Amino acid sequence: MAEKSDITLYTTQTPNGIKISIALEELGFVSPLPPPPPPPSPLILSFSSSLLPSHHTPYSWLYVNTHAAHRLPYKVHKITFSKNEQKQPWFLEINPNGRIPALTDRFDDGETIRLFESGSIMLYLVKRYDTEHKISYPEGSREWFEMVNWLFFQNAGVGPMQGQANHFTKYAPERIEYGINRYTTETRRLYGVLEKHLSDKKSSYLVGEKCTIADIAHWGWVTGAGWCEINIDGFPTLKAWEERMAARPGVEKGRHVPDPHTIKELLKDSAAVAKAAAESRAWVQMGMKEDAEKHSQK
């Protein structure tokens, strides 16, 4: 692992956001957030807010336990959608597209590098830090290209289609059957492609027996299928893969960044689903109104 990393992850609790924290945990990075039940002899270091630029939410402490002390920490900056923080000028300098996740790091030349688009960020992380091929295959190998196939399949297929399915089932101000049918059907079709691939190949992960960034890219979306009213029981091999992924310690740690990942519990409570959907709908609609005002005259 490169010694001179200085990673800050800009994220919030979404299927795209947790891809990066899971990838970092799987690679052996450790988040300063938050201390689960303290182990017997924790070392608590104070973390000076003066080290951070003024727009950063300072962490009051960096947590290192005896098992994690050899692992490299990464910083997390939580982006608050309800305050439209992802559209603030300082964030647009990191990701001009105004979306999470984004990441900054110290590059080989000593200068800061900015990364955006979850697929690009994960390719950066494995190229730079996965020298032992923990979550990738050697670049140029057949398995590397297979991995990139499925990574792009997620980023250009499952993510956008399920994102729209979420929009029409949860965030639209009125019920529009055409939009709901179009995007939930398309998401189901894509899940069918994953189901067939996993069952034909009889492999534990999308490419062979190793969990790669292609699996990590899909997991947060598949585990939240119920949010757009897709029943994962209809895809038994994909469901078994989802559970296999969930059992991985890196997935378990990374999924709770920057806030607890509670989608499965939430989906069991229809009143909580309605409340969470209404909260998200409010900021989604606010953002759409602002975008319409800015761009409608062009």
Ligand X SMILES: N[C@@H](CCC(=O)N[C@@H](CS)C(=O)NCC(=O)O)C(=O)O
Query: 4 or 83, CB closer to ligand X?
Result: 83
CA-to-CA distance for 61 and 97, rounded, in angstroms? 31
Query: 63 or 223, CB closer to ligand X?
Result: 223
What minimum distance in Å lies between the beta carbon of 283 and ligand X? 8
CA-to-CA distance for 196 and 238, rounded, in angstroms? 9
| Residue 139 near residue 197 (C-beta atoms within 8 A) | no
Q: Does 223 bind ligand X (CB under 6 A)?
A: no
CA-to-CA distance for 88 and 99, rounded, in angstroms? 11
Ranges within 62-91 binding ligand X (CB under 6 A): 81, 86
Best CA proximity match to 245, nearest among 295, 206, 291: 206
Three-state SS at 103: strand
What minimum distance in Å lies between the beta carbon of 90 and ligand X? 15
* Binding residue for ligand X, selected from 52, 65, 71, 117, defined by CB under 6 A: 117
Q: b/e string for 245-270 if b means 16 or more Cβ within 10 A?
A: beebebbebbbbbbeebebeebbeee
Ranges within 127-156 binding ligand X (CB under 6 A): 155
* Binding residue for ligand X, selected from 16, 21, 136, 280, defined by CB under 6 A: 16
What minimum distance in Å lies between the beta carbon of 251 and ligand X? 17
Ranges within 172-191 binding ligand X (CB under 6 A): none
CA-to-CA distance for 102 and 118, rounded, in angstroms? 7
| Residue 125 near residue 216 (C-beta atoms within 8 A) | no
What minimum distance in Å lies between the beta carbon of 152 and ligand X? 11
Query: 100 or 251, CB closer to ligand X?
Result: 100
What minimum distance in Å lies between the beta carbon of 8 and ligand X? 16
Binding site for ligand X (CB under 6 A): 14-16, 81, 86, 98-101, 117-118, 155, 159, 287
